[in-house]
Amino acid sequence: MQSAVKGKLIKLDGLTLKEAVGLSGNGGTKPQPFNFGDFEELTTFRDCQRNPKNTNYTKFLAGGMKKNSRLISFIIAWMLKPRLDNHAQMSRDDTLLMHVIKKKIKIDWVSVVNDCMWKARRKEDGPIPYALLLSKIFEKAGVYLKGEKKIILHASNKIEKSSLHHMGMLKQEDKWVFKGDIPPTPEPTTDEDGIPSHDKDQPPQVKVEPDREQEAEPKPFSLFE
C-alpha cells in the first residue's frame, strides 16, 4: 500500500513500519480466521469467560471476560484493529488476534496493519486508524507538518483508571478486580430479639453513654457569643 502525502511518496510496507515503530513482519503467517492452524473461535471465546455457563454465545460480548482477556480485547478493539463503534462485541478477527496473543504465535503484523488501513479506506466518513503510527511515519518521511491541526492527548484518550472503571473494574488494595467479584460485606447478625450478636470469644461491645451531669457547660468567649 502506498500514497503520496504533500509530495512525499510513502509506502506502508515492512521496512517503513520497522523504521517507524519497530513493527515486524517476520512472523511469516498472515492471520486469516478461516484458515489458521487449530484456531476455533468459540473455544477461544469460551476460554476467556469468567462464568462460561452464564455466557450468551450468540454475541461475542467482551464484558464477561476474565481480567487479562478483557484488557486484551480492549487493546485489540481500540489500538491493534481500531474501528468506529461496537467495541464491546468481538469480531472473528478480534477473536483470532486474542488466540494469537494468548498462544504467543508470531504473525505478520504488517499485513494486519495494511488490512485495517485498507478497510478504513473504503469508508469515507470513517477516521483513519493508527494516528500516532502515521504521525511517526510522516515525520520519518519528511512530510511538512507545520500548520497542521494537532490533537492534544488528554484523560479521555489514555488507557488509565477511567478506562478500567468503564470496564467494570475497581481497585481493591493493590490490585484491580471486577465489581461482581468482590464478596459482599457481611452484615452483623442479630438474635431473635433483634439485638446484635457477638463472638463467643469476645465480650459484647456495650456503648457507654456519657454522664450528662459531669459534662461541663460551654462558656461563652464574649457577651456577643
Please enumerate in sequence order all residues whose Cβ is within 8 A of that of 30, keeping only pairs 6 or more positions apart, or say none: 107, 108, 111
Rounded distance, CA 23 to CA 21, Å?
A: 6
The residues pairing with 176 across neighbouring beta strands, listed in sequence order, are 171
pLDDT per residue over 109-159, tens digit each? 888 888 888 888 777 776 778 888 888 899 888 999 888 888 777 766 677
β-pairing verdict for 175-178 and 169-172:
antiparallel
Determine contact, residues 55/46, Cβ cutoff 8 Å. yes
| 52 within a domain of the structure (yes/no) | yes
Amino acid code (one letter) for 224? F
How many whole angstroms separate alpha carbon 26 and alpha carbon 187? 58
Collapsing DSSP to helix, strand or coil, 200 comes out as coil
| Grid coordinates given for 196 | 446484635
pLDDT in tens, 46-100: 999 988 888 888 889 888 888 889 889 988 988 888 877 778 889 888 999 999 9
Three-class SS of residue 73? Answer: helix
pLDDT exceeds cutoff 70 at 4: yes
CA-only gyration radius of the chain, Å? 29
Phi/psi at 178 (nearest 5 deg)? -75, 145
Instruction: Give the per-residue pLDDT at 122.
Output: 78
- CA gap 171, 163 in Å, rounded: 12
Mean pLDDT of the chain: 78
What is the domain count for the chain? 1
* Residue 177 bridge partners (DSSP): 170
Tell me if residue 175 falls in helix, strand or coil.
strand
Residue range of the domain that includes 72: 35-106
Q: Confirm if 134 and 16 have CB atoms less than 8 A apart.
A: no
Does residue 203 lie within any of the structural domains?
Answer: no
Considering the domain boundaries, does residue 161 fall inside one? Answer: no
> Is residue 46 a part of any domain in this protein?
yes
For residue 97, tell me if it sits in a domain. Answer: yes
* Any domain includes 62: yes
pLDDT in tens, 151-195: 777 766 677 777 787 777 888 888 888 776 666 666 666 655 666
139 belongs to a structural domain: no
Q: What are 98's three cell numbers?
A: 486474542
Closest CA to 171 of 67, 61, 79, 72: 67
> Within a domain: residue 51?
yes
